[in-house]
Amino acid sequence: MACIFCQIAGGELPASIVYEDSECLAFMDIHPLGRGHVLVIPKHHARQVTELETGATQRLFAVAESILSAQRRLGWGLDGSHILLNDGKTANQKVPHVHVHIIPREKGDSLKSAGKLALHVTGVFGFATPRPRLEEQASQLRTELLTQCNRRQT
């Protein structure tokens, strides 16, 4: 059976999509470690970065950077964000398909964030965020990305 992120890329599992092109897909993390936590994946399955084609890692991080900018314009992660790639089991990679996390942080959220991170490390993850909330955040990000794109073209 295809991995969970391949199923999302193939439209077999639901996800709140933020961005899509021929190579990459970005969607809301269902167990966010911060408000508006997004994952960017290559559409083709690769377990680790070393299995990716030349240039694919740069492409993922370029998409991650534009999502980081969109989050900031929405006021998310103004005080800081994690741009994170867990590469391999020992490095806490739970889903065996390359993904970049963009996790907005807020001042004073260390305790809450550490608790959630501890759950992620065990692979339990905790409760999923309700779909309407993820859809609302994805929609806000899509609008920001579109605005960013239009601004570049003018």
Residues taking part in catalysis: 99
Binders in 1-20 for Zn ion, by CB under 5 A: 3, 5-6
Question: 3-class DSSP state for residue 25?
Answer: strand
Sign (positive or negative) of CA dihedral 2, 49, 134, 11: negative
Instruction: Report the C-alpha gap between 110 and 29 in whole angstroms.
Output: 19
Could you tell me which of 32, 28, 5 has the C-alpha nearest to residue 117? 32
Which residue is closest to ligand 5GP by CB?
31
Report the interhelical angle of 131-153 vs 56-73 (nearest 10°): 100
Residue 142 binds: one of ligand 5GP, Zn ion, none (C-beta under 5 to 8 A by kind)? none
* Count of chain residues binding ligand 5GP (CB under 6 A): 14
From 125, 139, 146, 147, residue interacting with ligand 5GP (rule: CB under 6 A): 125
Could you say whether residue 120 binds ligand 5GP (CB under 6 A)? yes
**Choices 45-53, 59-67, 69-77, 93-101 (CB under 6 A): range interacting with ligand 5GP:** 93-101
Residue 45 binds: one of ligand 5GP, Zn ion, none (C-beta under 5 to 8 A by kind)? Zn ion
Neighbours of 4 (CB within 10 A): 15
Instruction: Report the C-alpha gap between 17 and 67 in whole angstroms.
Output: 12
For residue 20, list its beta bridge partners: 25
Least distance from C-beta 108 to ligand 5GP, angstroms?
22
Q: Between 89 and 149, name the residue whose CB sits nearer to ligand 5GP.
A: 89
Contacts with ligand 5GP by CB under 6 A lie at: 4, 15, 27-31, 86, 92-95, 120, 125
